[in-house]
Chains A and B, each alone.
Chain A
Amino acid sequence: MSNVTDATTGAGEPVPGDNDTQAAKAENGPVMAADGRPLKQTLRRTLRREKMRALLLIAPLLVFVVVTFIVPILSMLFRSVENDIVQNTMPEAVQALQAWDEQGTEPPGDEVFVPLYFDLFKASEAKQHTQAGNRLNYEQPGLSSMFRSTGRDFDDMGEAFQDVFEEIDPAFGKAEFWYEMLSGEGGKALLEDRRALYAAMTGETMSGDVGFAPSADMAQMLPWTTKAYTDFAIWTAIKENDTVAEENPWEAVYAALGQDLRSPETVVAIAGYSGPGAVALKAAAENRDQLPQDSFREMFVASDKDWESVQAWRTISLFSPPVTAGYFLNSVDLTKTVNGIEARPETQQIYLTLFQRTMVMSLIITGSCILLGYPVAWLLANLPLRTANVLMILVLLPFWTSLLVRTSAWKVLLQQQGVINEILVWLGFVDDANRLILMNNATGTVIAMTHILLPFMILPLYSVMKTIPPTYLRAAKSLGATNWTAFWRVYFPQSVPGIGAGSILVFILSIGYYITPEIVGGTDGVFISNRIAYHISSSLNWGLAAALGSILLIVVLALYWCYDRIVGIDNVKLGG
């Protein structure tokens, strides 16, 4: 404390002759700084200012790390559980589906298929319905084409209604007829609801003037029609920049009116209705038996018979919540069924094998890097500088060569008609008919990756060994130790921090490798990263890739923690 006082007062501007007062105050009461404030407060303020300055200095780095490292990792973690696409694409159908019995043997009826039609019609206009299909296809093959093929028939389903309506009264074919009939007061809330659903589906705000406000009375009398027309209006005005009143409505609006007329209450209500379009509506209500009588379920099943499959509906129902553990379950060879979590069929189990193989092979690679790297590092550290520098260049040269080139070079060396086999056959060590299989298997991966990762082991080892004074060894020997004892009891313990640092580097790098295993690994030398790459770039199942990546991240962190507990992270040195 006294030191600090000195420092602070020294830094401030001590007023001559003021020392006595300060000393007096220090004895009874808080110590005051030169400006009369309590010293503690001044000190704290100074320290805070220092901290802020330090923070400002590292701010660019901090922002960089957060933006390019933390945020992507978090978004990856989030993607591995995110599943809102099903709900956003067919919100009303998903809601209606909640009443359906998953354990039952009957597919849901029109209470689900009617909202499903309008949800999916809307989604197909926005080209979103196939994305939901693709999501569900990850869980059950066939759903993707079910959504796609039925998507092509939505227009026809609506047209079947449209044709009859226009025959009953040509007014149904006019854009302004629909606009006048459905416009009105009190439907603002409905409009905003529909807009919010659109925004969730497309990921855009969908804000702007629609130029149409639904009438609350019509929403009461013709609920499906008003909703479908409002959807049409929002899409037309905001996404297509057309005037709603001038555009003919979607086929779905006709189907919606058809659906409304199936309810007896609506027919009664229309009889007492006298607003715009009353004549046409009454005519339609009277002739409603001319309209298509098939239920929406029948229409869907006619388009693709799989809509009748209970299994398909179970999958839709299981994967409709906005958050799912499905991807994580998949990545440990489990699956979610109506009876709870079950193991995947044995023919489809792959990820646990791959995780295990990745760990085991990374350990083997780390081990062989230690075995090969240790003597080299020892040489580097103990040879005369000139020779050591040449050797160092030999170590670094492959480090500067492209990874692909090095891996391809290994291909040339290792293949059955390759350099190594040719030499062995020529020397007579290996029979021509039984050439060694050195690549397209785990051996190839271990050989090529050991070579590629070797510099990451040698460099930390070298920098640690460089700091071990050679006199220690000599001292040990002069005290009677054999070469081995001197090395094992004196030299080796001091080089352990280098082994630790090298091992962590090599192990963590090799866990994430995928190019080298892909090229020389064949079938039993590929790692989990190869599957992650496959799901990112080929199958586009980013959720599963994210889950696999998250698991890999967690495993690495867990290993790091174990390492810290066993060896101690303070024992790792990257240099002097």
Chain B
Amino acid sequence: MKLTTTLLTSTALTVAAGVAAHAQDMANDMTLVSWGGAYQASQQKAYAEPYMENNPEVSIVWDESSNEAVAKLRAMNEAGNITWDLVDVVASDAMRLCDEGLAMEIDHDEALAAAPDGTKASDDFGDLIVSDCFIPQIVYSTTFGYRTDMVPEGAEAPNDICDVWDTETYPGKRSLEKRPINNMEWALLCDGVAKDKVYDVLATDEGQQRALDKLDEIKDDVIWWSAGADTPQLLADGEVFMGSTYNGRLFSAIVEQDQPIAMMWDAQVFDLDGWIVPAGLPKDRLARVMDFLNFATDTQRLADQAKYISYGPARESSAPLVGKHADLGIDMAPHMPTDPNNAKNTFLYNYEFWADYRDDIDAKFQAWLAQ
């Protein structure tokens, strides 16, 4: 009897000590930063909820600050108080954060799970690891949607990026993002520049002027947007005939809200979105984040996210696992920007170019807008 008690007690103590040690190693609170809306909801359902089910002691707080993450992280760093644990940013922001030393460099093979067939994480993500600090999650694209009921009679539905400039065949306003990125490239493509020469041309003053001159042709027909939700709204209100935005936003307007809108995938521009870990986290918080990160970026979890939103998973091994929409039950694959039917003509965003020329071209673009 006595022996049993002792044994039981010591076992209990060992277990308790184990739990305590575990709890000491990892913090239980985590602040994740994302974009809000449908995208954050997809992360919540695909990553956060299953993780909290496995680790009931963890509580996760979301902060919808991704679009100003770089500025806020810089301010936090200057104040010496990093309150975020994991931040969702687009690839170009990840590069800037890495450059500034605000994001932590990650050994992708060590920190992230291998694919089920044993492929190393760095090979599974492949070229999408555009920065040492960046852990890709999804591939999204910026592309055009148009009102199907506003296509003039007798005209074909627009299927060419240059239809944006063709205001004779397709009258009506267009909505474009109020920044040079993507617009300048599309303008040059429609001004007859070959796809692989676009950035060479755009690096010169003449090329930049050429793109602005091309945009000038439709300047009076453009409503400029600055939030991703603007274009779907403008399309739904019939304010514009066609407009650019992120493909997931158009997906939800078309499929979930049943608006008379269709996608025009031509010359869609691929971009990446993913996680970064802020530099300088305390050990216990870092341990928790890395644990979560390993879980949230494994093959299954990335594939799961595609059940809720039409963004392509960043792992090659996740693609075959993409299934049906969680609520509507429709097949998600044809709505992915990476689907072969949609990706007939795509354009690759050049991070390095925009990191260099962003300020300069933006100044010219804004000056042009203000004229």
Q: A residues bordering B, Cβ < 8 Å?
A: 126-128, 130-131, 133-134, 137-138, 141-145, 148, 347-350, 353-354, 357, 415-418, 440, 518, 522-524, 526, 531, 534, 536-541
Contacts and interface: CB of A to CB of B under 8 A. Distances in A.
A348 B367 contact: yes
A145 B352 contact: yes
Contact of B238 (A126, A141, A417): A417
Interface in B229-273: 237-239
Interface in B350-371: 352, 355-364, 366-370
Given A141-B359, A144-B355, A134 B367 contact: no
A12 B328 CA distance: 89
B156 interface: no
B71 interface: yes
Contact of A537 (B71, B99, B178, B368): B71
B303 interface: no
Contacts of B68: 537
A126 B99 CA distance: 11
Given A348-B363, A418-B237, A534-B362, 4 more contacts: A137-B356, A349-B367, A416-B239, A539-B359
B100 interface: yes
Contacts of A538: 71
B71 A536 contact: yes
Contacts of A130: 99-101
Contacts, number: 86
B368 A131 contact: no
B210 interface: no
B226 interface: yes
Contacts of A523: 178, 224, 369-370
Given A415-B237, A540-B96, A350 B359 contact: no
A336 B223 CA distance: 35
A75 to B, nearest CB: 10
Would you list the 9 A-B pairs with minimal beta carbon distance, nearest first?
Answer: A127-B101, A130-B99, A141-B360, A350-B367, A537-B71, A523-B369, A537-B68, A145-B356, A141-B357
B153 to A, nearest CB: 17
Contacts of B368: 347
A354 B239 CA distance: 27
A131 B100 contact: yes
Contacts of B362: 534, 539
Main secondary structure of the interface of B (DSSP, over half): helix
Contacts of B224: 440, 522-523
A420 to B, nearest CB: 14
B344 to A, nearest CB: 31
A138 B359 contact: yes
Nearest to B357: A141
Contact of B223 (A126, A144, A522): A522
A518 B225 CA distance: 9
A61 to B, nearest CB: 23
B186 to A, nearest CB: 18
B195 interface: no
Contacts of B358: 539
Find the residue from A126, A133, A347, A522 having the highest chain B CB count within 10 A.
Answer: A347
Contacts of A526: 370
B231 to A, nearest CB: 13
A518 B179 CA distance: 13
Contact of B366 (A128, A148, A357, A531): A531
B209 interface: yes
A540 B370 contact: no
B120 interface: no
A122 to B, nearest CB: 14
Find the residue from B209, B239, B360, B367 having the highest chain A CB count within 10 A.
Answer: B367
A84 to B, nearest CB: 15
30 contacts: A131-B100, A134-B100, A137-B356, A141-B356, A142-B357, A143-B356, A145-B352, A145-B355, A148-B99, A148-B355, A347-B209, A347-B367, A348-B367, A350-B363, A350-B366, A353-B367, A357-B370, A415-B237, A415-B239, A416-B173, A416-B239, A418-B237, A523-B224, A537-B68, A537-B70, A537-B71, A539-B358, A539-B359, A539-B362, A540-B71
B237 A417 contact: yes
A522 to B, nearest CB: 6
A440 B369 CA distance: 12
Nearest to A416: B239
Interface in B197-241: 209, 212, 223-224, 226, 237-239
B364 A417 contact: no
B74 to A, nearest CB: 7
Interface in B294-345: none
B209 to A, nearest CB: 7
B237 A540 contact: no
Nearest to A415: B239
Interface in B113-165: none
Contacts of B74: 540
A78 to B, nearest CB: 13
